[in-house]
A = this chain, B = another copy of it.
Amino acid sequence: MSKHNIRLKDIAEELGISIPSVSRALNNKADIGEETKRRVFELAEKLHYQRNQFAINFKNQQSFIIGVIIPQIVHHFFSNVISGIIDEAENLGYGVMLYQSNESYESELKGVETFQKSMIDGLIISLSDNTFKVDHLKNLQEHNVPVVLVDKVNPDMDSAKIICDDYKGAYYATEHLISIGKKKIAHITGSLEPHTTRERCKGFESALRHYNLPLVPNLIKKCNLVSREEGYLTTLALLAEPEIPDAIFCATDPTAIGAIKAIKEKGLRIPDDIAVIGFSDWKMSSIVDPPLSSVSQPDFEMGRKAVELVVKEIQLTRENKPVKHETHVMETSLVLRESTLGKSKKVPLN
């Protein structure tokens, strides 16, 4: 049990050679005799030698760990971002530490602290909705830990960023509603604090303007949590307006699902009376009745790209080369289902 782990020293002694020689052999260095190398490998194998990464990390001051902070894992979008991150990190030889902020700034601070204790080489973070200061992240940068912001970004941060084109996604979603003949389109937006929801709102307005549709203030409703409950209540409010909309673009899928519930309860048909489209293409969106059209974000790909950027910066930083922070804007795509298309089109189960 407590038999100490095998060290280079053990192998060296057993073979009657020096420790550096063993090291050189195991690391396939050039200047080492073939015969020696063979004997070292053989014995290492036999003793089940495992390099002590603590020593190596210590020597190189490098952990090969990337820290990841996201608001909530349970969200389908973030699960997929994380999958992309883990995948690409594996490819590049990095491990991934995870922390969730639960949309709390204080939690986010704690996460950064935990990560500093674990000596992460780089950080990928999607900011909590309640994070307005970024000193904790700048602090990391000052300690030569590159930071990459994903999706939920902050203009005060001078760092690499991965965002998706929320503006265009919203524009296309709205354009789609117009294309199926809708004229009185409502928008349920979230808190306008996060960059993402603000862009979605802008894209919506821009599409209306472009197609010469009136921008009716009463048809733009704000809710803070963009939850199902809120979507439900907000839609009920919309339906109580003197002139009700014939389509609703919701800033998130849960809101849209709430909206669907409200519309169905009122005995209205989807999409004939009111079409509904959401944003983010949650897993559950294909399961609700009717299946929800939505704007799909390249979540997995965003994760991959984030790792690519952060590792690039890690390497440049280690080589003391100047780093230029890239911002990657990724394209969204429309996933059209019955909530806007109706039964006409056969929609696959998945």
A residues with a Cβ closer than 8 A to B are: 1-2, 5, 50, 52-55, 57-58, 61, 63-65, 73-74, 76, 79-80, 82-83, 86, 90, 95-100, 110, 114-119, 143-144, 228-229, 232, 257-258, 261, 283-284, 287-289, 320, 349-350
Contact = CB atoms under 8 A, between A and B. Distances in A.
Contacts of A55: 58
A52 B210 CA distance: 57
A7 to B, nearest CB: 11
Contacts of A2: 144, 320
A5 B86 CA distance: 29
B349 A228 contact: yes
Nearest to A318: B2
A118 B98 contact: no
A159 to B, nearest CB: 15
Contacts of A90: 99, 110, 114
8 contacts: A53-B116, A54-B57, A64-B118, A90-B99, A98-B98, A229-B349, A258-B349, A283-B284
Given A79-B79, A232-B349, A258-B349, 17 more contacts: A53-B116, A53-B118, A54-B57, A55-B58, A63-B118, A64-B118, A73-B82, A74-B80, A83-B100, A95-B115, A228-B349, A229-B350, A257-B287, A261-B349, A284-B284, A287-B287, A288-B288
Nearest to A85: B98
Contacts of A320: 1-2
Contacts of A118: 53, 63-65, 95
Contact of A143 (B5, B73, B96, B114): B5
Contacts of A54: 57-58, 61, 63, 119
B74 A98 contact: no
Nearest to A284: B284
Contacts of A232: 349
A76 B79 CA distance: 10
A161 B97 CA distance: 23
A97 B118 CA distance: 10
A98 B97 contact: yes
Contacts of A53: 116-119
Across chains A and B, which 7 residue pairs bring their CB atoms closest together, nearest first?
A: A58-B58, A284-B284, A74-B79, A54-B58, A95-B118, A98-B98, A289-B289
Most B C-beta atoms less than 10 A away, residue of A52, A61, A287: A287
A77 B284 CA distance: 15
A65 B97 contact: yes
Contacts of A117: 53, 64, 95
Contacts of A229: 349-350
A291 to B, nearest CB: 11
A4 to B, nearest CB: 10
Contacts of A99: 86, 90, 95-96
Nearest to A100: B86
Contacts of A95: 97, 99, 114-115, 117-118
A10 to B, nearest CB: 15
